[in-house]
């Protein structure tokens, strides 16, 4: 960096001193904290995003959100050129940047990193960062801090995309770097065109009136409800009633996280909604779960991310199977696509068993989208979902090229054959689903299209398999980093002895399964337990909480 650049960084960073007594860590969801503590961090992530743009010669994204957290929190995360998460190799730099004690320490860190990564400032055509924020009141001032950070790198442009869902921002970054239009209108347009294609190719025998076209959506009083209100004006097939779209407190008694964890109706829902298909988004609309309201109760029948994954897997397997055959019933050996399913230890054991019974390859990764996404990208078609409703489908460039060629061949030789329709359906799914990141809006439209294709009600979908009862608890501890896990977080390596104790407790319960892991975003240890009954799952979870206290100590 030249002296002018150093001078600008020294001057601008002095206006954003870091809060005392706080240590920031770039986790799976970027940085998150009480919004009042974040100005310096967001400013510094702005610098990082501009450097990333220089290094990759691409547009980078920066999103201000705390997703499903309470409204007083906020956060910041970076979208890489592909629209995916920030590369893991830059995460230690993000940590060091956020925690540099003063402007001079920050400048030395930047100087060293620029040299180490060989970041060359000359000859970059455009240094641009797309900025987005959710509906949190604190987002406005934090976006301004991000802009100051971005523009403290000479020549860098901060393009404010306004209030958007997190998946929209990731999609816009991906689109811009692929050379296509990156606007909210083009995002909506791609979803709607792809959805129309899927609906047009529903098998004739499945076009019944048995599946209701009414859907009620809980918008979590966040950005997703606001955007769905816009989108639904262009949807002719679905009748969507969007509730909790800003008239209450963000994520308070509403949203996918609340519905999935508590298994209760969100605010604004009740017995009058019994029998109607319902869905819930989270605060920034990257999570989606479905549910139906139980009669005369505030409880629900939850259809979580595991069952969304199972629905997608079933449909995609069916389409690939059609393509691997031929019109005379003989196998087509021209291309055998690999289809893989990626889960975490939080996936309900019944879902994993179901997927394996379908003959699918199921693999596990540690918790966190970056791990799931990376593994799913190894397949021609990779599906990943967490039980919390965050997930997507990835299509390799190889299979997309093959599908384009195949659909063109079939259009000239066997137009409107089942193979031709299957190829077109798969291409439509690849455009409808957000391949950059989990997206509640695109996921919701794909669910609706597949349910219509299958002619399934939510009850039929829910009956794919019966979830094992489970319980999730979190425990505040003195030091969460004392917990070290292995085997995709299913085994505790340290503290020594705790895994043996967990195994002893788990063995007491039929179909028992239990694991603990340190949170990536909070100073807590998370406990997950499954068993044959809810009472047993609760008992197992609470027994293991006591073990955590014994080995680690409550905070």
End-to-end C-alpha distance for the chain, whole angstroms: 44
Quickly count: other Cβ atoms within 10 Å of residue 461's Cβ: 21
Place of tokens 């209760």: 264
SS (H, E, C) 248-269: CCCCCCCCHHHHHHHCECCCCC
51 within 8 A of 112, measured Cβ to Cβ: no
- 526 belongs to an annotated ligand binding site: yes
- 549 belongs to an annotated ligand binding site: no
- 518 belongs to an annotated ligand binding site: yes
Single out the catalytic residue among 13, 67, 194, 280: 67
> Rounded to whole angstroms, how far apart are CA atoms 281 and 323?
34
Quickly count: other Cβ atoms within 10 Å of residue 179's Cβ: 7
- 282 belongs to an annotated ligand binding site: yes
- 418 belongs to an annotated ligand binding site: no
482 within 8 A of 552, measured Cβ to Cβ: yes
How many residues are given for the chain? 555
Sign of CA dihedral 183, 188, 192, 198: positive
82 as an active site residue: the answer is no
> Rounded to whole angstroms, how far apart are CA atoms 247 and 537?
36
> Rounded to whole angstroms, how far apart are CA atoms 293 and 265?
7
Measuring CA to CA, which residue among 137, 289, 163 is closest to residue 224?
A: 163
- 67 belongs to an annotated ligand binding site: yes
> Rounded to whole angstroms, how far apart are CA atoms 259 and 40?
34
Residue 473 structure tokens: 């608890």
383 within 8 A of 391, measured Cβ to Cβ: yes
- 517 belongs to an annotated ligand binding site: yes
**Residues annotated in the binding site for Mg(2+), as ranges?**
67, 282, 284, 286
**Residues annotated in the binding site for substrate, as ranges?**
386-388, 517-521, 526
Catalytically active residues are: 67
**Residues annotated in the binding site, as ranges?**
67, 282, 284, 286, 386-388, 517-521, 526
């Amino acid at each position: 960096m030249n002296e002018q650049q150093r001078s600008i960084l020294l001057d601008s960073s002095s206006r954003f001193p870091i809060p005392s007594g706080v240590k920031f860590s770039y986790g799976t969801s970027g940085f998150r904290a009480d919004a009042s503590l974040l100005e310096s961090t967001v400013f510094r992530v702005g610098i990082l995003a501009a450097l990333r743009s220089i290094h990759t010669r691409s547009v980078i994204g920066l999103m201000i959100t705390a997703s499903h957290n309470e409204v007083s929190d906020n956060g910041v995360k970076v979208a890489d050129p592909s629209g995916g998460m920030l590369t893991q190799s830059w995460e230690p730099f993000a940590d060091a940047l956020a925690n540099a004690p003063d402007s001079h320490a920050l400048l030395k860190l930047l100087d060293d990193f620029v040299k180490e990564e060989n970041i060359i400032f000359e000859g970059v055509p455009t240094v641009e960062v797309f900025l987005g924020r959710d509906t949190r009141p604190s987002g406005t001032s934090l976006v301004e801090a991000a802009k100051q950070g971005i523009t403290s790198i000479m020549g860098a442009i901060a393009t404010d995309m306004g209030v958007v869902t997190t998946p929209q921002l990731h999609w816009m970054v991906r689109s811009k770097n692929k050379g296509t239009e990156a606007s909210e209108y083009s995002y909506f347009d791609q979803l709607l065109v792809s959805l129309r294609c899927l609906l047009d190719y529903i098998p004739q025998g499945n076009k019944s009136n048995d599946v209701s076209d009414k859907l009620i959506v809980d918008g979590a009083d966040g950005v997703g409800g606001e955007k769905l209100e816009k989108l639904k004006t262009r949807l002719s097939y679905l009748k969507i009633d969007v509730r909790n779209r800003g008239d209450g407190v963000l994520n308070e008694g509403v949203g996918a996280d609340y519905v999935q964890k508590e298994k209760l109706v969100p605010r604004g829902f009740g017995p009058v909604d019994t029998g109607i298909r319902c869905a819930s988004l989270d605060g920034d609309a990257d999570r989606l779960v479905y549910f139906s309201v139980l009669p005369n109760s505030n409880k629900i029948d939850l259809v979580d991310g595991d069952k969304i994954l199972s629905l997608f897997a079933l449909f995609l397997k069916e389409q690939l199977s059609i393509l691997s055959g031929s019109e005379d019933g003989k196998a087509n050996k021209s291309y055998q696509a690999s289809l893989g399913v990626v889960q975490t230890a939080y996936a309900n054991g019944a879902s994993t068993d179901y997927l394996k019974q379908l003959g699918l390859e199921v693999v596990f990764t540690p918790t966190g989208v970056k791990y799931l996404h990376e593994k799913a990208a190894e397949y021609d078609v990779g599906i990943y979902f967490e039980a919390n409703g965050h997930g997507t489908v990835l299509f390799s460039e190889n299979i997309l090229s093959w599908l384009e060629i195949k659909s063109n061949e079939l259009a000239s030789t066997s137009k409107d054959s089942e193979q031709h329709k299957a190829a077109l359906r798969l291409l439509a799914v690849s455009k409808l689903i957000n391949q950059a990141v989990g997206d509640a809006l695109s996921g919701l439209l794909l669910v609706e299209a597949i349910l219509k294709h299958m002619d399934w009600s939510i009850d039929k979908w829910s009956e794919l398999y019966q979830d094992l009862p489970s319980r999730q608890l979190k425990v505040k501890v003195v030091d969460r980093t004392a917990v070290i896990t292995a085997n995709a977080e299913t085994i505790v390596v340290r503290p020594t002895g705790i895994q043996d104790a967990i195994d002893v407790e788990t063995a007491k319960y039929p179909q028992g399964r239990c694991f603990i892991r340190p949170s990536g975003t909070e100073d807590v240890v998370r406990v997950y337990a499954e068993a044959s009954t809810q009472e047993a799952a609760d008992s197992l979870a609470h027994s293991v909480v006591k073990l955590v206290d014994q080995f680690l100590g409550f905070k």
